Structure 1
Amino acid sequence: MKKEGVDINNEEEVKKFHDKEKAITIEGIREIFFKYCPNGTIYFNTGGAEINLPQWHDYNTHFELEDLPTVWGGYDKLPIRAKYFGGTGKDYLAMTGKFHCCWGEFGGFKTTDALKFEVSSMLTWGSKCSIGDQMHPLGTMDLQTYKNIGEAYSYAEKIEDYCFGVKETSKLAVMVNTNAKVNEGIAKLLLDCHFDFDIIHQNTNLNKYEVILIPDNYYLNETDAKRIQEFVDNKGKLLILGGGALREDKSQFAINIGLEYLGKSEFDKDYIKIESILDSPLLCYSSAHKVKGNGEILATVFEPYFKRTYKHYCSHSNTPNKAETANYPGCIKVNNVIYIAHELASNYFDFGNIYQRRYFEKIVNLLYTDKNIVASNLQPTARIRFVEQEKKHCYCAHFLYAPPIQRGSVAIIDDLPPLYNIETEVKVDKPIKSVKLMPQNENLAFEQENNKVSFTVEKFTSHQLVVLEY
């Protein structure tokens, strides 16, 4: 760094130097590797499978989505990553560990129930499976480790043929960017509301979607703006969260949606009132992005009396709201576009407010009518996915439920409560011959009316695969 004149006290300069040297190193390794293994596969475990680090993606022949959900990314880190990297055209696998607290933990074990659930989750999201271990210095295998892993893999072996090479069926798609919090926040919202979703890539045909969701502070470059504008002009529906769909200089909307952007509110926090959700204003943990335009007001903003400071404050936490509404909307619908003024994805990632989730669900349902799967009697922490497996001539519905409990610094899968009477309706474009529970290979009663198929899963624990053969 000294030789190149890098100021080691300048974090930005040091990062640029680091990235340059890292790229040189990776390129050198690839050159040597492919010289001797021209058909080999190589993955660089240095941000190579993080959505928010796209500069490293092209160096890999495949992606390994590493996570230790008990203590690292949590059990909702995988779904959006698997959907994103599943759309790149490259192979991908999910990687967890047999460990309880950290990688390389000698004597640390997850239960077989936990490992089975994690493997089931990998398969639900279309990922091949990898469970990490660390060999003892004596060079002997720990047989208990492989007994536990074997029980998880024995379940995977029974259903894996239905889980790879699948095609998304959702008509709801999300744009993701380099903000990891926003990406995972929007995924948590969608997962908890049981909205199956797809991820938009640069080469994605937008015409197959009913609704596109642009999350918090997603700025549109000229190419993206043109694509989204064409989608909206062709009657596509758009949901924008606070600060989304702006130009890259943040000055104004990058697309014509009948709204003018006025900037972010000067307050640190404010309030929103949503009819049928709460009768009182609900606290928002970051303030609204102000817009102006003519449309249907779906939620109103209430400003606080003042911005809280050390010198100017009220009570223990936040300043209370004024009695009158603000002169800008909390949520507004203009034709086929809805704008939510607050950064709901970031808020939900940080605080998980249930009323904000219900608000989000209500707004999505106003736009999203052509759902690929709807299931009743599911808890918010249950997960669903509905895909097509063309190779086996079937559709596959996945149901997951094993709510983790936080004990100290560790999220633990301990209880496996069953869920009952999951009344399900899915959308298909082929006549269905049979509906089966797998791996039980039990036939389910079903009804098909045009492109809608309905069936009921009477009970399941942890994971259930339902196969609709055509």
Structure 2
Amino acid sequence: MYSIPFRHIHLDFHTSGLIEGIGKDFSKDQFKQALKAAHVDSITLCAKCHHGWMYYPSEKFPMHPHLSFDLFGEMLSAAKELGISVEAYLSVGYDEVIALAQNQYLMRKQDQKLDSTTDFFTPGYHQFCMNTPYLGRICDQIEEVLSIYQVDGIFLDIVGVRTCYCASCMQTAQDQGIDPSDASQMQSIWEHTYIHYIEQVKKTVERVQPGIEIFHNSGHINRGRLDLMHVNSHLELESLPSGGWGYDHFLLSSRFVQHFGKPYLGMTGRFQFGWGDFGGYKHPNGMRYEVSRFLANGAGCSIGDQMHPFGKLEDGLYSIIGTIYQEVEAKQPWCTDVTAVTEIGVLSTESAGNYHIDGVNASLLQGSSDIGAVRILQEGHLLFDILSASDSFTPYKVIILPDRIALSEELENRLDTYLQNGGKILATGISGIKENGKLSKRFGVYWKGQNQSIPNYIEPCSPVISLSSDSFVMYQGSQEIEILEGDSPTILGFIQESFFNRSVEHFSSHYHTASSLDRKGPGMVQNEQTIYAVWNFFSEYALKGNLAAKYLVLESLKKLLERPIISTSYPSQVELSIMEQKGLSRYVVHILHGSKVVRGKNMEVVEDHLPVPASDIEIQVKQPIHSVYLVPTGEKISFTFVNGSVRFTVPSFTCHQMICLCYGENNNED
């Protein structure tokens, strides 16, 4: 069983063959001192880089031409002498050493341009297709590394189900009678290619070092592909906020994987910009916040670095990491073997929608409904999991269907059964709405199609918290519904349309036309177990920051939940989670605040930690609480416990505060 590391370093070493003096400043003693100073318990070391060079004396493959000793072996030995576990890194998708000589194995787009870097005139890596003899080269490299060195696991990078029209994939299509112009038919080839790669790697590893950990990195955990997630012994959630992932990505990914029982790491980097950002350094407060976030969401911690070509770790950097990981080390006993406490399940649109996210860059636009749900629920201090279409709905008081959940017959039947058993549903947009559908009948509405007024407006039937207006714009428009005959749901809001849609002939004011203020039918309805809204509330918030959409969702969830687990006066920027250590009979409450600001071009950074004032908090629990104290100091906090509700005041803090709630006879308070 994989033992999750809490203080991991992912050490890249992607180095051009043109650079001389590789490793000339490497010192085993200095390497060890840096890792000791950083309080590291696990590390990923580079055996083969994106450029295709090996960093040990290989008998079959080219070692970096300017490396004169076994750098990988020396780093591995140093780590092992410190009792640090080691993952061997091998670049799978890239190998620039042979990119020109064996370009027939490179991935191709439909127009035959190269993947990743489209030609050989543009600097950058070129990706290889695993449906070629190149796969044999990869397996031979894995076998050689594992035959020479004893490691705890391997990290295989730049892999996944890839779109490819190389000669080999085209030949496979011809052999199988597949029309290569039909991407849906070609998908079967691409799926088989990846699964075959997984199987061949597994066979290779088990033949040489059976039982070690294997992680295949695609840069994004696809919420629609549990089969691809489970080929890994553990998960490493690559999510550098300033490197293209943003701060939403980790929270969304961790809330998706946290209920599967598979160990996982959160992976950020010391880089200000992105991987390989030499001389770019994130503020230590940013790293501290991101690492604290990992702990608050049940993850181990991984900080990425890239070693200078001369082979010396930066003492100052590793001292800074040490201050962060020393704090993690002190908190670690309250972060192991945890289970997230949740009350809401959000069905992911990436899992049950009608689209696929191709990596992290498309996540904001394509996955906007998922991101909007995460933002709203986190800011509302509600506890939730992100679900796949195949997950059980039973553990949750409320299931959210955000904006565009495509219903298969099987999924609709499962949701209908969930309602029959007393569950509750909040649905928005096209989710759950189809002609004569079971859920549509449960909502008490008949779907008529897309409302043609874009944007249009919502006229809520009761005031929206913090906002005082009679109607609010919804930029993406809405669906159009009728109340089913004989049904009498509570109407929570009406549709208002603009005077006209904006066009060359018809426009008014700067942006869009004002509401006509006339009601054009119901837009938000509540039945005993459901609330349905015709608007895309979640993507409205993700893409437009539409506060009315956020507050309407939170008000709806208050109606459905009746009594949320957490009640608090903390502002929306403060993040909360609760983890249970069942074996130790205790809950651990995490409270976080990172002061995010925008620097440069749309880059969120955390530079300062502002003090969070003391605040009251009330938590609903199943067991009587007999002790409440701060972690890791052990300072006792006065509390009251009445009718399953524990109340206490959290003192002022910066960045991250943990509070332990102890119950039962098996509790260990340290």
Note the C-alpha offset of 1:116. Answer: 1.1
8 Å CA contact retained: 1:111, 1:148: no
Note the C-alpha offset of 1:238. Answer: 1.3
1:202 to 1:305, Cα distance in 2 relative to 1, 3 A: closer
Cα distance in structure 2, aligned partners of 1:299 and 1:239: 15
Cα distance in structure 2, aligned partners of 1:320 and 1:252: 34
TM-superposition CA deviations, 1:183-227 (whole Å, max 9, x none):
122111111111111334567553433222111111222332222
Cα distance in structure 2, aligned partners of 1:23 and 1:351: 39
Q: 1:242 aligns with which of 429, 452, 463?
A: 429
Match of 2:520 in 1: 326
Cα distance in structure 2, aligned partners of 1:402 and 1:59: 34
Bigger Cα displacement from structure 2, 423-432 vs 53-62: 53-62
Note the C-alpha offset of 1:39. Answer: 0.9
Note the C-alpha offset of 1:388. Answer: 1.5
Mark the structure with the bigger radius of gyration.
2
- Whichever residue aligns with residue 75 of structure 1, its letter is Y
Match of 2:267 in 1: 95
Match of 1:227 in 2: 414
Number of corresponding residues = 465
Cα distance in structure 2, aligned partners of 1:338 and 1:306: 29
8 Å CA contact retained: 1:116, 1:155: no
8 Å CA contact retained: 2:457, 2:515: yes
8 Å CA contact retained: 2:259, 2:340: no
Q: How does 1:195-274 map to 2 (within 5 A)?
A: 195-200=382-387, 204-246=391-433, 251=435, 253-255=437-439, 256-257=441-442, 258-274=444-460
SS of 1:397's equivalent in the other structure is strand
Cα distance in structure 2, aligned partners of 1:158 and 1:201: 34
8 Å CA contact retained: 1:171, 1:370: no
TM-score by length of 1: 0.93
Q: How does 1:354-433 map to 2 (within 5 A)?
A: 354-376=547-569, 378-409=570-601, 410-433=603-626
SS of 2:592's equivalent in the other structure is strand
Q: 1:438 aligns with which of 631, 644, 647?
A: 631
1:52 to 1:345, Cα distance in 2 relative to 1, 3 A: farther
8 Å CA contact retained: 2:428, 2:532: yes
Cα distance in structure 2, aligned partners of 1:464 and 1:173: 26
1:47 to 1:311, Cα distance in 2 relative to 1, 3 A: farther
Cα distance in structure 2, aligned partners of 1:397 and 1:389: 11
Q: Which runs of 5+ in 1 are unaligned?
A: none
Match of 2:97 in 1: none
Note the C-alpha offset of 1:8. Answer: 7.7
- Whichever residue aligns with residue 314 of structure 1, its letter is S
8 Å CA contact retained: 1:173, 1:200: yes
Match of 2:657 in 1: 464
8 Å CA contact retained: 2:428, 2:533: yes
Q: How does 1:174-185 map to 2 (within 5 A)?
A: 174-178=346-350, 180-185=367-372
1:348 to 1:103, Cα distance in 2 relative to 1, 3 A: same
Cα distance in structure 2, aligned partners of 1:48 and 1:413: 23
8 Å CA contact retained: 1:47, 1:53: no
Bigger Cα displacement from structure 2, 126-135 vs 200-209: 200-209
TM-superposition CA deviations, 1:137-185 (whole Å, max 9, x none):
1111111221121111111111122123222332222211316322122
Q: How does 1:140-151 map to 2 (within 5 A)?
A: 140-151=312-323
SS of 1:419's equivalent in the other structure is coil
1:8 to 1:222, Cα distance in 2 relative to 1, 3 A: closer
Match of 2:198 in 1: 26
Bigger Cα displacement from structure 2, 140-149 vs 444-453: 140-149
Q: 1:172 aligns with which of 337, 344, 353?
A: 344
1:193 to 1:27, Cα distance in 2 relative to 1, 3 A: same
Note the C-alpha offset of 1:381. Answer: 1.5
Match of 1:295 in 2: 489
Q: Which runs of 5+ in 2 are unaligned?
A: 1-166, 351-365, 664-670
8 Å CA contact retained: 2:457, 2:497: yes
Q: How does 1:6-45 map to 2 (within 5 A)?
A: 17-45=189-217
SS of 2:619's equivalent in the other structure is strand
- Whichever residue aligns with residue 43 of structure 1, its letter is F
SS of 1:303's equivalent in the other structure is strand
SS of 1:384's equivalent in the other structure is strand
Cα distance in structure 2, aligned partners of 1:279 and 1:426: 33
- Whichever residue aligns with residue 223 of structure 2, its letter is I
Residues 1:342 and 2:342 are matched in the alignment: no
- Whichever residue aligns with residue 300 of structure 1, its letter is F
1:190 to 1:282, Cα distance in 2 relative to 1, 3 A: same
Cα distance in structure 2, aligned partners of 1:207 and 1:386: 20
- Whichever residue aligns with residue 265 of structure 2, its letter is L
1:66 to 1:356, Cα distance in 2 relative to 1, 3 A: same
Q: 2:476 aligns with which of 279, 286, 289?
A: 286
Q: 2:507 aligns with which of 294, 297, 313?
A: 313
Match of 2:58 in 1: none
Percent identity between matched residues is 28
Cα distance in structure 2, aligned partners of 1:15 and 1:234: 38
8 Å CA contact retained: 1:64, 1:92: yes
Note the C-alpha offset of 1:53. Answer: 4.6
- Whichever residue aligns with residue 404 of structure 1, its letter is K
1:67 to 1:216, Cα distance in 2 relative to 1, 3 A: same
1:429 to 1:132, Cα distance in 2 relative to 1, 3 A: same
- Whichever residue aligns with residue 242 of structure 1, its letter is G
Match of 2:221 in 1: 49
Bigger Cα displacement from structure 2, 397-406 vs 348-357: 348-357
Bigger Cα displacement from structure 2, 342-351 vs 408-417: 408-417
Residues 1:135 and 2:307 are matched in the alignment: yes
8 Å CA contact retained: 1:433, 1:469: yes
- Whichever residue aligns with residue 332 of structure 1, its letter is V
Match of 1:154 in 2: 326
Note the C-alpha offset of 1:299. Answer: 1.1
- Whichever residue aligns with residue 420 of structure 2, its letter is D
Cα distance in structure 2, aligned partners of 1:351 and 1:284: 9
Cα distance in structure 1, aligned partners of 2:428 and 2:259: 24
Match of 2:376 in 1: 189
Bigger Cα displacement from structure 2, 289-298 vs 452-461: 289-298
Bigger Cα displacement from structure 2, 287-296 vs 335-344: 287-296
Residues 1:86 and 2:258 are matched in the alignment: yes
1:302 to 1:18, Cα distance in 2 relative to 1, 3 A: same
- Whichever residue aligns with residue 458 of structure 2, its letter is I
Q: What RMSD over aligned residues (CA atoms) do the two structures have, in Å?
A: 2.2
8 Å CA contact retained: 1:372, 1:386: no
- Whichever residue aligns with residue 551 of structure 2, its letter is R
Match of 1:76 in 2: 248
Q: 1:304 aligns with which of 481, 486, 498?
A: 498
Bigger Cα displacement from structure 2, 67-76 vs 452-461: 67-76
1:15 to 1:98, Cα distance in 2 relative to 1, 3 A: farther
Bigger Cα displacement from structure 2, 16-25 vs 36-45: 16-25
Cα distance in structure 2, aligned partners of 1:340 and 1:10: 36
Note the C-alpha offset of 1:392. Answer: 2.0
SS of 1:133's equivalent in the other structure is strand
Cα distance in structure 1, aligned partners of 2:227 and 2:622: 38
Bigger Cα displacement from structure 2, 99-108 vs 194-203: 194-203
Cα distance in structure 2, aligned partners of 1:15 and 1:105: 35
SS of 2:265's equivalent in the other structure is strand
